[in-house]
Chains A and B, each alone.
Chain A
Amino acid sequence: MAAEGSAPKIFPSSHKTVVILDHSPFMSEPCGQTVDFDILPKQSRAAPGIIPLAPLAKSLWTCTVEAASEYARVVYDVYPPRSRDKLLKFVITDTEARPLNSWVEEEQSLSNVLQGLAVVGPPSESDDAENCSVMHGLAMAVESLCEGSEKQLEHKASLADPEEPVVNKGRVVCITTVKSQGHIQMLEECMQEAIVQHNKIAEAADKLPITHCELVLIHTVPVGADNNIQDEPNKEVSSLLSCEVHSVHSGRHIAAKLALLVQKHFHLTSTTITGIPMKEEQNASTSANYDVEILHSKDAHIEILKMGSTSQGYDSSGFACSKDSFGRETVILKWCTPKTNIIELQYCTGAYRITPADVNSRPSSCLTNFLLNGRAVMLEQPRKSGSKVISHMLASHGGEIFLHCLGTGRSPLEDPPSISEGTGGRVTDYRITDYGDFMKENRLMPFPVPQEGHILPAKEAAAVLERTTRYWPLVISDTIIFNMASHIDPLPTLITKAELTEDEVVECQKSIYHLVGMESRSEPLPIPAMGTRGKGPKRDEQYRQMWAELDTLLRAHASTSVNHQKVLECLQEIRRPAEEAKESSRKAGKKEEVVVKEERVMTEQSTAELAWQEIQRYKAMSERERSDFEVGNTNNDHFRHRQQTEVSSPPIKKLKTSLEDSQGKQQGGQPSLLAIWTSRINSRYASRHCEFAGRLTAEGNKAELYVNLNKDSTNGTSDKPTSVKQEKRGP
């Protein structure tokens, strides 16, 4: 058992299997077993005296096809065709050989094979028995094995040396009836000759010569008939071919033989799950226990197999390993009544696809339906003594059932230091909730295969993470702007986008103006109390920090696009003294690029300094407003109302009419902050209006706009009508 349990070899023979079915007239003979298909129910409501129909006799052909399709069903279930690892090809042979499918993925399915078999139909007794020979099938099998599978061709293409031969192994399972021992000899020779001949052709044509082929000859006779052919163990006929002979009766015996062979050929083993409680009737109060046998890769029991062979704890007394009547070994695992929901992550060392050994029996389909409905069940090793060992879990994922192997040994990770004991462990104000939201926004979803030239979705995800984390303070006490979401939204969300529309730029600017408004009203900032000594920094200092932080955020994103740059420019402009802003904007009209550069190289300190000056200015300005405020508390509401209506930007169409009104409202003298802001908004909307007019006369929407811009300046960036230029053109 230990030798069999070892890992599969490289370039396994199981990659390509040709199944040859003998379709000669002899196969139409009855198999010697009958099947009662007309079972009268016990409490038949039918009139007494009805005689059930006579049992039917299956032909040798029917038994062979049933056994072979079961072989295919198991392979396709455990190794789904889309993985392209294990391929089957069916060949029918009588007076000629006919393939039912090819190695390509699309033709690798049981339904495809069954349809092909239906087209071929059962053999007819009247066929020309003389010219029927299984040799046609063997020749076609060899030819098929010379054809490279998709994986083999990919492997060939990946080889550094194109001359390097691809190891091309395969297996041929041939179900037929031989006449004598000499007949077998002849078939072997025929096969050997075919391989030698095809290998010669293969080298010339663009095919793969066969490195080694395993011929599994299954001789079948009706049940009860004389059988003078002996089983022969695997023997090497030559370096290219090995051969083994299995001699079986038809009927259920051939099905059992193929069920055994499929396990041997595809590194499978069997597990019987015992004690599955099932209700006999719908709504029954009691349940009986059933067993279900499943097949899966031997690797799922690697632990049990290895432990069984070397350790005493798992010997036959504790670890059940029984054999059924056909000599199949099966590992017994006990059903553990499932909890309602197993969602926690299990430590799982392997997950292998399974298939029920008896797919349409009632217990099997009960179990598979239970699992396909999303339930999972733990399986326990039966032991006479000691503690309970849960070693496996059955669960379905996307319509496929897997046997999960759970780690049962002692974990070397036990008793680890808590994360709170390490670096950063004593920090208590992490932005856990914010990062939780960040994670939810950055969840992954499957995308279809991208078209040529498009980037992989994974790369796109990386780009999103890059953008969204350019400025992301880890702790609450390190940030002001992220603690005042109600005031600053939607700016932090919008600014991380890859592209900003004009409307979104306006949204961002509105957020900035809102902050300016807050500062002018000296509203307190939501600074967290923790980590600050005494009363904490003064309010204007808080605002200085807030502006600096906002500047950092916008700077980090300014390079994303022109519109991102615009948002930063807005911030920088608003924080510059009003006259200076006007002055520089006039200059900027001429040599705008230089200004932008200057702004970028501006150090943190100089901006801070600027901010300080502004704050002084705004302070002076807000004095009057404060006096307004102090005149009477009853005026409060009115004042607030005015602030709010002006802060929230009016709709575009209305703006045009209210433009002069709002300007008229300005209270003379030095321009107030509100004035700066409104004039800026005005110029923006005015420019918009201009653009619209341009479009009306233009042939193409964009063309006209570009022309105007190019006339104005030499600056080539056409879709960047900066605020500076608009101001020039506006009034």
Chain B
Amino acid sequence: MPTVILLDLSLSMTRPIVSGDNDFQRKHLAIQGVSTLLDYLAAHNRLEFTALVAFSSLWELVVPFTRDYKELKEGLNRMDDYDKTCIETGLAGVSQIVMDEWGVGLPCQVIVVTDGSPGVGKGSLKESLERFYSLQHRHEDLSTEGDEFPLPFPFPSKLHLVCLATTPEVQGVLGQLQRLVDMNGGAGGVHLPEGELSMATCQALFSKLAETQFPAVAWTLKCGHMSSEVQAVPIVETFKKMYDFGPVVREPSLEMEILGFLDSKDIASPAVISRHLVLPKPTKTEKEVSEGGGAASGEGDGDTAEHDGKAPSFCVLLHGSLKVESMVALVQLGESWYGFLYSWADSKKKSNLMLSVLEPGDDAVSWLGKISQLGPVASSPHNPYGEDDTMSPYPVRHADKRSYAQNTTVWIKPSGLQTDVQKILRNARKLPDKQQTFYKELNRLRKAALSFGFVDLLEGMSAMLERECTLLPGTAHPDAALQLTHAAKELRLAINKDYDDNIAPLQTHFSKSDND
């Protein structure tokens, strides 16, 4: 996930370090620390985007989101000193930068590097917090426009407040800083260097932050006995969401186990919570990719470092076949947590293996049915894909139909009723050919009239059918008149009859002869 580093450049950051013989400012510590973090990212998370923002009473985007770590470091060295700390302004800046770049769907890391001085007067931490609570109270009564507090961020995020100060120095402010983290949903935290303030302790602090927040997580991609060590970029985060009946928390199991395969068109763009590139992990010690694979390839594969590109990887094979066949591999990521792998191309030339993570749950994709009930085609007596691969068992159809998929009657607007009445009359004029449709529509009207307690309509419809009977042209089929009279009579009687007691066509001499 993209990272925004928000650096405090207020005057208080120029304070020299009290202890130690070097002439360091806190700003230098901050720059050195951020540089440590960038070095780590350059080594382990080259594909992540990072932006550098400076703030005091105003904010400024120093380096926009980039993977160019050199540029970020150069940005660090261009920092000037400004006036007072105004953390709310800084956070508002971050919010705007992220929204402009990524929108609201993408999780971001926000790392604020400050000296823990809360600022004074308007824009100080204390004043900001007070304003936040007053806003919150007003929100309950009526929604306010414009005057919004930047927290919580509109996008999912982790907020880290790195305080370059000793614990006694910021004793009073820690609570307030923590409250900022809590306001943003609680992810992240307040970080202080251990012990005294020095170059070493600050570097240690940033290294630790880098390692905990950007861990190089290795996944095992498995398909039966075939496996491959892979890395998911960006890392798959722990899933946390509040549902109607409580929170759901899922930890990624670090094992992507393939359950089976599906055609791309069958999985049909389901909702996903995140997407990750799946890259084969460069390994020093070559892992046997399939059981017994070594036997055939010979044993003398000693020097593996240069073999990295040449040693076959299951992950690459899988990608190749998924791409050729336009298929996806359904994988399990944790307890009742699934995702799917497919070939994805950013440009025409470069394609990659992509993991889309589904929301945890057995019915994450309604049209696949319950995922735990997907089984191997081989276990079925007949192949649901058909002999020539033209059929598919998907989408799974559910027994209950939605209102728009059946003939729902709504007469709230007069046009609804008029259309239904006209439809009956149209069919009435084409009797006896349209007899079936005529009675079907007539019964639909009858049922709706009974449900809505609209009995006058039955009387009215009956009268219309009688009139229609008198208007029949001389050339009309004699059965038409009989059916119309019958329907008109039955419609009147329906008021006192059962809901399910459908009006049946009159068995006439003509209809019988038709049947013969």
Contacts and interface: CB of A to CB of B under 8 A. Distances in A.
Nearest to B446: A118
A442 B260 contact: yes
Contact of B259 (A35, A69, A435, A458): A458
Contacts of B154: 306-307, 309-310
Interface string A438-477: 1111111111111000001110111011111111111100
Given A58-B454, A425-B309, A442 B317 contact: no
Contacts of B291: 470-471, 556
Nearest to B328: A345
A430 B278 CA distance: 18
A526 interface: no
B282 A423 contact: yes
B375 A447 contact: yes
B358 to A, nearest CB: 11
Interface stretch (A392-400, A580-588, A666-674): A392-400
Nearest to A342: B269
Contacts of A427: 309-313, 316
Contact of B225 (A109, A307, A469): A469
A349 interface: yes
B263 interface: yes
B404 A478 contact: no
Contacts of A368: 404-405
A337 B215 CA distance: 45
Contact of B244 (A15, A73, A364): A15
A427 B101 CA distance: 38
Contacts of B409: 360
B426 to A, nearest CB: 9
A700 interface: no
30 contacts: A3-B139, A10-B247, A35-B414, A37-B421, A39-B418, A39-B422, A151-B245, A252-B413, A307-B103, A310-B96, A310-B148, A311-B96, A347-B272, A361-B413, A398-B367, A400-B405, A418-B352, A423-B311, A427-B312, A433-B321, A436-B321, A443-B260, A444-B376, A447-B375, A457-B372, A464-B376, A471-B291, A471-B292, A474-B289, A474-B312
A639 interface: no
Given A313-B100, A360-B408, A445-B377, 11 more contacts: A50-B471, A65-B452, A361-B413, A364-B404, A409-B105, A427-B313, A430-B316, A442-B376, A458-B373, A469-B224, A474-B312
B202 interface: no
Residue of A359, A405, A416 with highest tally of chain B CB at under 10 A: A416
Nearest to A475: B312
A284 interface: no
Contact of A119 (B95, B270, B395, B499): B499
Contacts of B397: 398-399
B22 to A, nearest CB: 39
A530 interface: no
A491 B196 CA distance: 72
A478 B456 contact: no
Given A10-B244, A307-B103, A466-B225, A417 B350 contact: yes
A35 B417 contact: yes
B460 to A, nearest CB: 6
A1 B143 contact: yes
B242 interface: yes
A692 interface: no
In the A-B complex, the 4 residue pairs with the smallest Cβ-Cβ separation, listed nearest first, are A457-B375, A424-B313, A409-B103, A122-B453
B280 interface: yes
A82 B400 CA distance: 8
Nearest to B349: A418
Given A419-B352, A424-B280, A432-B324, A460 B452 contact: no
A114 B375 contact: no
Nearest to A258: B412
A4 B145 CA distance: 13
A484 B2 CA distance: 50
Interface stretch (B81-89, B124-132, B293-301): B293-301
Contacts of A435: 317-318, 320-321
Contacts of B368: 446
B350 A416 contact: yes
Contacts, number: 473
Interface string A183-208: 00000000000000000000000000
Interface string A399-420: 1110011011111111111111
A118 B447 contact: yes
A358 interface: yes
A448 B349 CA distance: 42
B246 interface: yes
Contacts of B100: 311, 313
B351 A419 contact: yes
A346 interface: yes
A59 B452 CA distance: 10
Chain B interface category by residue count: 35 or more
Contact of A349 (B271, B281, B324, B352): B271
Contacts of B408: 73, 110, 359-360
B106 interface: yes
B272 A349 contact: yes
Contact of B295 (A372, A395, A469, A549): A549
Interface string A39-83: 101000011001001001111011001110110010011001110
A130 interface: no
B281 A347 contact: no
A457 B393 CA distance: 15
A269 B376 CA distance: 40
Contact of A82 (B350, B374, B398): B398
B60 interface: no
B416 interface: yes
A473 B290 contact: yes
B404 A77 contact: yes
A544 to B, nearest CB: 12
A53 B275 contact: no
A65 B453 contact: yes
Interface in B309-367: 309-322, 324-325, 327-330, 342, 344, 346-347, 349-354, 356, 366-367
A304 to B, nearest CB: 9
A399 B401 contact: yes
Contacts of B225: 466, 469-470, 472
A309 to B, nearest CB: 7
Interface string B454-473: 11110010011001000100
B264 A2 contact: no
Nearest to A122: B453
Contacts of B412: 66-67, 70, 252, 255
Contacts of A397: 268, 366-367, 395
A467 B223 CA distance: 10
Nearest to A482: B296
B119 to A, nearest CB: 23
A232 interface: no
Contacts of A457: 372-376, 379
B351 A59 contact: no
Contacts of A8: 244
Contacts of A450: 373
B395 A347 contact: no
A471 B296 CA distance: 10
Contacts of B261: 439-440, 442-444
Interface in B264-287: 264-265, 267-273, 275-277, 279-283
B173 interface: no
A413 B277 contact: yes
Contact of B410 (A359, A433, A461): A359
Interface in B86-125: 95-96, 99-106
A61 B269 contact: no
B391 to A, nearest CB: 11
Nearest to A546: B296
Nearest to A351: B271
Contact of B270 (A309, A348, A443, A548): A348
Interface in A288-342: 302-303, 306-307, 309-311, 313
